[in-house]
Amino acid sequence: MTVKTLVRAGLLGFAIAGTSTIPYAAAETLRVTGGTIQRALKVPMNRAVVVESDAPFAELSIANPGIADISTLSERSIYVLGKAPGRTTLTLLAPDGTLITNVEVQVTADVGELKERLREVLPGEAIEVRPANDGIVLSGTVSSAAALDRAIDLANRYAPERVSNLMMVGGTQQVMMKVRFAEMSRTVSKSLGFSAAVNGIAGGGDIGFLGGNGTYLSNNNLSNLFDGDSDTGISLGDGTEGAFQIGFGAGDVEFAVLIEALESKGFVRTLAEPNLTSLSGQAASFLAGGEYPVPISDGDGNISIEYKPFGIVLNMTPRVIGDNINLNLAAEVSAIDQSVSYTDSGLSVAGFKTRKTESTVELRDGESFAIAGLLEDDFQDLSTQVPWLGDIPVLGALFRSADYERGQSELVIIVSAHLVTPTRGDALALPTDRVRPPTENQLFMRGITAVTNRPVSGGAGEVARQDFTGSYGYVME
């Protein structure tokens, strides 16, 4: 056996031993024929490709050994091992020193194993994997945003921070949120009070007393109690619908009784149903109301104006994860409350009555959650009397006053999620589609303020032909 044969056998054994620690790769051979190559040589990182030449070569070199390593298997075969992502050039020279060819070697990330892992972890997902210089490009259409995140996370294991995402999420990924604010509040208050007064005139002076604790008495002057003079007699304050005065006189003595009996009831119903549609993973906001100016001082006496939004405010970020909808929601219904205000240097700022919630829930298409609720029951009563006199049986009622007030309120916030798709414009109807302004004859001669308008074609026409007597809003199908 010649020395040349021993060297070739040793190099071949070294190549085989070197590839034993490299992940399995399908055999790939590039042929060089007549000084030309079939194609550019693409070598996965940590994998090998064999280059065969029809013409024997005497010398070969690699431009950048850090990208690819080469070894000679025979005078016509070359073993090329990818080391790092990049491009370099392999040069083959004939025994007479002439150039046989230059082979472009492109070392890319190994995507074979990544493809296998993606098929195992995400079966049925049409994900395409391509190397790109020192990174990986993912493309195709996946069924959900969760599958997209898993594919990117797995690709980052093979090329950290070098993954380009060109994948798209298929199917319905637009979410319409319907939020319902329902609030009912009722109040009941009753009051019953008696006040007695005796006035005596002697020597030009007034003597007398006022008994009880009249809620509506605003002046305790007993002079000229029955002369009708509001400046000197007993006058009644605001809200005296239930007050009644009786009295009589005997000589220089006058008697008066003020009876106060009042019952009030109140009922408030608030209903708001804001709807908002957004793409999965994208934030959306909604405001139906206005902005209230609030003066702000900078501490140096300068006043600036900031505007606080009020009304129906809805902010949401939906995210479709498989068959579920993960929703981060912040909803608010507010109104100006003039009963709570602040006044300073002629500036008056009203308060706000607000009901709001912020939550993250997960639900399926068409399902609903009650994400907030409040049941409030307030009760207060008060009893006042003249000491000792109010304790007298029967007659003591003339010296006592009692009142109580009770308020109940209940608030529920319900959120519903729907996966939606766009529809044709003629399938939607607006409230303005069903009415039109009247003509001058209809307005002045017949007193008609709105004329029914019924389109005759499309889905909007079908909706408009329905009877919407009473309250109406918008219709979506």
Q: Which domain holds residue 432?
A: 423-467
Q: Are residues 370 and 299 in the same domain?
A: yes
Q: What local confidence, expressed as pLDDT, does residue 12 receive?
A: 44
Q: Are residues 293 and 304 in the same domain?
A: yes
Q: Are residues 104 and 116 in the same domain?
A: no
Written as six digits, the tokens of 71 are 């070894």
Residue type, 248: F
Q: Are residues 285 and 361 in the same domain?
A: yes
Q: Are residues 289 and 236 in the same domain?
A: no
Mean pLDDT of 266-270: 80
Q: Are residues 400 and 302 in the same domain?
A: yes
Instruction: Flag whether 15 is in a domain.
Output: no
pTM over 0.75: no
Q: Are residues 328 and 429 in the same domain?
A: no
Rounded-to-integer distance, Cα 284 and Cα 312, Å: 14
Q: Are residues 277 and 378 in the same domain?
A: yes
Instruction: Flag whether 253 is in a domain.
Output: yes
DSSP lists the bridge partners of residue 70 as 80
Q: Are residues 297 and 410 in the same domain?
A: yes
Mean pLDDT of 280-302: 83
By DSSP bridging, strand 135-142 and strand 163-169 are parallel
Instruction: Flag whether 4 is in a domain.
Output: no
pLDDT over 90 for what percent of the chain? 0
Q: Are residues 286 and 369 in the same domain?
A: yes
453 within 8 A of 432, measured Cβ to Cβ: no
Q: How confident is the model at residue 464 (pLDDT cuts 50, 70, 90)?
A: low
Q: What local confidence, expressed as pLDDT, does residue 216 receive?
A: 38
- For the chain, how many structural domains are there in total? 5
Instruction: Flag whether 7 is in a domain.
Output: no
Residue type, 320: V
Q: Does 219 score more than 70 pLDDT?
A: no
Check which CATH number belongs to the domain holding 145 and give it: 3.30.1340.30
Q: Does 163 score more than 70 pLDDT?
A: yes
Q: Are residues 201 and 254 in the same domain?
A: yes
Mean pLDDT, rounded, of the chain: 75
Q: What local confidence, expressed as pLDDT, does residue 112 receive?
A: 81
Ramachandran region of residue 326, left (φ > 0), alpha (ψ -120 to 50) or beta? beta
How many CB atoms sit inside 10 A of residue 195's CB?
A: 26
Kindly write down the DSSP assignment for every residue of 376-396, as one continuous string: EEEEEEEEEE-TTGGGSTTGG
Q: Does 80 score more than 80 pLDDT?
A: yes
Q: How confident is the model at residue 402 (pLDDT cuts 50, 70, 90)?
A: confident
Rounded-to-integer distance, Cα 84 and Cα 68, Å: 7
Q: What local confidence, expressed as pLDDT, does residue 469 receive?
A: 59
> Regarding predicted confidence, which is higher, 200 or 222?
200
Q: Which of 240, 262, 284 is the last residue of a domain?
A: 262
Residues 403-450 have pLDDT tens digits of 888 888 888 888 898 888 887 766 676 777 777 888 888 889 888 888
Q: What local confidence, expressed as pLDDT, does residue 462 receive?
A: 59
